[in-house]
Amino acid sequence: MPAAAYLTGFGRYLPGPPVENDDIARILGGDDPVTDRIRRRVLAANGIRQRHYALGADGRPKELNEELAAKAVTAALDDRGLQANDLRMLACATTMGDVLVPGFASMVHGRLGGGPMQTLSVSGVCTSSLAALDAAAAKIRLGDHPRAAVVGSELASRSLHQSRFDGRREGLDSHFLRWMLSDGAGAVVLEFQPHPSRPSLRLDWVRQVSLADRHPACMTAGLRGGEARPGDTWQDLSVADAEAAGMFVLRQDIGMLGDLAEEGIRQFEELVDTGLVDIGRLDHVLCHYSTNAFRDIALDAIRRRAPRLDEDRWFSNLETCGNTGSASIFIALEEAWRTGRFAVGDTILLAVPESGRFSFAFAQLTVVGPDTRKDV
Amino acid sequence: MTIETSADTTLASRLALVWEELEERLERVPILQRLEAGDVTIVDYTRLLFNLRQQVVDGTPWISRAASNFDAEHFALRSAAIRHAEEEHRDHLMLERDYVAVGGSLDDLRGGRKNIGSEALSGYMFHYASRPNPIGLLGAMFIIEGLGAKRAAGWAGRFQEVLGLADNQVHFMRYHQEADAQHTGALDAILASDLIDDAAADEIVRCAQVVARLYALQLEELDR
């Protein structure tokens, strides 16, 4: 049996109560007739019905991103029956931490506690959590650490509030994300041995690829006009000037999303062509997508290769948990695990396209039973 | 045990017989039987490391003590013992890293107690090493280095195979295949040299018999 990494604990933290579509404006603001109309249109397209925000009634954050991450890790540890001091590594993924310095993982470790351990901060967008998983799993497989936690967390709502939009006339590039993103964290515990008394998910492989060499940035903040130029990023201007230039608004170049979907399908096809994915043995697909509009595109692409894959083998909780960026894939995995979708022997494909600048991450998991050998 | 002394039997063949008896005894050691059958758990591996460590940490001290008790007439043996002690004085640290790499606590490991077999083995070694010119200890080395060179890597490989362990979790057992093979080469040269007279050969064989029995006892008495 080769050395492997097993996912043995699953946790998530979604701040506050679920927020229904009609209640979003109460928290994020933006209830003027024009904004209201755009919001309804965006929501109708993305299909999200509920999401969570770490904001109070006044629209101000009530928690830090590091707190969301630490709570999700604690939930995953509880699920596995471990403590933070059992961990030797903490890999944290997020799009934006709470502070400029130090690194996000240092802050999460400080909040989590648990003794000395290796930390890794992965910054990126949606694929960053699978990049963190890949790095932690590699250390487990090498035998450097017996146990690690991996967390993806986001507190995007602070960039979505009306205060960022006051006095600005923003187009669909910002509204698309404003009514799509929300807050949350998802975490997994990784170990070098399977769970002693219940099934675990063996990580078969992770594949992450960037196509930034052939595509411009697609989802941006902190720059002007979608292109980074010397002396003209948010760090080069006063905060007021950067804000006035709309640099703190998250934007998506919607015109590129068709290309993104095509590239994603090409990457999936390559996994099949090279044999990493065996279509005949693909039991579950958990795909992260930003809006339901991409759901059918992705499902059709996989169906072309795997006609027997029923829709009930396809899992997403975008509609009820929202799009939480890097946290989404772990939040979906946690729910699929907790609700008993997986049986021993099943294979699970995780698929995460990232619009940031065209990157894609996939991972395959196999459900394995506990070790039946008994300690003497 | 059978042959005690025999003028017409070489030291090498007498030691080979001791080794053969040790191998037969090891086949009856429970943890090694389970390892062979593929029934060991990660708890077994962790426990084995824990038990070995409590005696391995004494290895260099008894070799050093032996070195200090060889007089000038046994200068070659003194030099060999000093060299051997220097080569092995960090071995227990490697074992400790393996133990931590499979999730064990370094504090627990370092705070551990010797099992009954380790107590007997370690006590015997220090006792013997305290004698003037403890030449019989070459027999102890024949057994201990022989286990490292001939058996440890096999155990490591089997634990890896059964439990899916990485190389970084079995350093101690793997490393000894190479290191102890070098040591046994040097040992063989000494055993074949004119440093060993008949009386010394008898002592060496007797010490090998005792150490073989106590080493097996250490493996039989895990955690006791």
Task: Kindly state the average pLDDT of the residues B146-158.
Answer: 92
User: For A156-256, where are the alpha helices, taking DSSP H only?
Assistant: 172-178, 239-244
Q: For the residues A62-86, what does the mean pLDDT come to? A: 98
Domain ranges of chain B: 30-220
Share of chain A above pLDDT 90, in %: 79
| Between B45 and A31, residue with greater pLDDT | B45
User: For residue A27, what pLDDT is reported?
Assistant: 93
pLDDT at B2 over 60: no
Average pLDDT over residues A32-55: 92
* d(CA B103, nearest CA chain A) in Å: 5
Q: What pTM does this model have?
A: 0.92
**Radius of gyration of chain A from its Cα atoms, rounded to whole angstroms:** 20
Residues of chain A with Cβ-Cβ distance to B43 below 8 Å are 375
Q: With bands split at pLDDT 50, 70 and 90, how would you rate the model's confidence at A226?
A: confident
Structure tokens at B86: 């220097």
Q: CA–CA separation, A12 vs A336, rounded Å?
A: 12
To the nearest whole number, what is the mean pLDDT of chain B?
92
**Could you tell me how far CA A152 lies from the centroid of its own chain?**
6
- Contact of B108 with chain A, judged by CB distance below 8 Å, is answered with no
Residue B7: which pLDDT band, with cuts at 50, 70 and 90?
low
Smallest Cβ–Cβ distance between A4 and the set B43, B164, B169 belongs to B164
Is B40's CB within 8 Å of A373's CB? yes
Q: What is the mean pLDDT of chain A?
A: 93
Instruction: Report the C-alpha gap between A13 and A324 in whole angstroms.
Output: 11
Q: What is the pLDDT of residue B224?
A: 96
Q: Where are the domains of chain A?
A: 6-191, 201-208+254-368, 219-252
Q: Which of B43, B162, B166 sits opposite A142 (nearest CB)?
A: B166
Chain B CB contacts of A143 below 8 Å: 101, 165-169
pLDDT classification of A308: cutoffs 50, 70, 90: confident
Distance CA A66, CA A151 (A): 10
Position B96 confidence tier, pLDDT thresholds 50, 70, 90? very high
| pLDDT reading at B211 higher than 60 | yes
- For residue B31, the chain A residue with the least C-alpha distance is A376
**For residue A312, what pLDDT is reported?**
79
In this predicted structure, the answer to whether residue B8 has a pLDDT above a threshold of 60 is no
The pLDDT of residue A103 is 97
Which ipTM value was assigned to this complex?
0.83
For residues A71-90, average pLDDT = 98
Percent of chain B with pLDDT over 70: 96
Buried b (16+ CB within 10 A) or exposed e, B150-183: bbbbebbebbbebbbbbebbbbbbbbbbebbeeb
- The answer, yes or no, to whether residue A376 has pLDDT greater than 60, is no
Contacts of A47 (CB under 8 A, 6+ apart): A291, A292, A293, A295, A318, A319
Residue A66 has what pLDDT?
98
- Which residues of chain B make contact with A368, given a CB cutoff of 8 A? none
User: What per-residue confidence (pLDDT) applies to A296?
Assistant: 83
CB contact under 8 A, A143 and B43: no
Looking at chain A from residue 355 to 374, which residues have their Cβ under 8 Å from any Cβ of chain B? Answer: 371, 373-374
pLDDT above 80 for B185: no
The average pLDDT across A240-246 equals: 92
> Is the pLDDT score of A309 beyond 80?
no
Model confidence at A243: pLDDT above 70: yes
Distance CA B216, CA B24 (A): 10
A339 burial level (CB within 10 Å; 0-12, 13-18, 19+):
exposed
Q: Which run of H or of E encompasses A251?
A: strand A251-252
**Residue B186: predicted pLDDT:** 80
Query: What are the Cα distances from residue B94, in Å, to B53, B85, B172?
Result: 10, 15, 6
How far is Cα B106 from Cα B97, in angstroms, rounded to an integer? 8
- Summarize the confidence of residues A362-367 as an average pLDDT: 98
pLDDT at B1 over 90: no
pLDDT digit string, tens, across residues A173-195 = 888 899 999 999 999 999 999 99
d(CA A45, CA A209): 28
Q: Taking a C-beta distance cutoff of 8 angstroms, is the pair A366, A210 a contact? A: no
Q: Which two tokens stand for residue B88?
A: 């092995």
B163 neighbors B46 (Cβ within 8 angstroms): no
Closest residue by Cα to residue A160 from A12, A305, A42, A288: A42
> Which candidate from B39, B161, B168 shows the least CB-CB separation from A1?
B161
What is the pLDDT averaged over residues B170-194? 83
B129: Cβ–Cβ under 8 A, 6 or more apart, which residues? B62, B63, B65, B66, B69, B137
- What pLDDT score was predicted for residue B205? 97
Q: What is the mean pLDDT of residues A120-135?
A: 97
CATH architecture of B30-220: Up-down Bundle (1.20)
pLDDT at position A375 is 64
Mean pLDDT over residues A1-6, rounded? 93
Residue A129 confidence (pLDDT) above 90: yes
The torsion of the CA quartet A268, A270, A274, A276, rounded to 10 degrees, works out to -20
Minimal Cα distance from B35: which residue of A? A373
Q: What is the pLDDT of residue B200?
A: 93
**CATH number for the domain running over A201-208+254-368:** 3.40.47.10
Which SS3 state, helix, strand or coil, does residue A89 take? strand
Task: Please indicate if any CB of chain A lies within 8 Å of the CB of B34.
Answer: yes
Q: Which residue has the higher pLDDT, A303 or A319?
A: A319
pLDDT of residue A31: 85
- Classified by CATH at the fold level, domain A6-191 comes out as Peroxisomal Thiolase; Chain A, domain 1 (3.40.47)
CB contact at 8 A, A180 and A38: no
Does the structure show a pLDDT above 80 at A290? yes
Percent pLDDT > 70 in chain A is 99
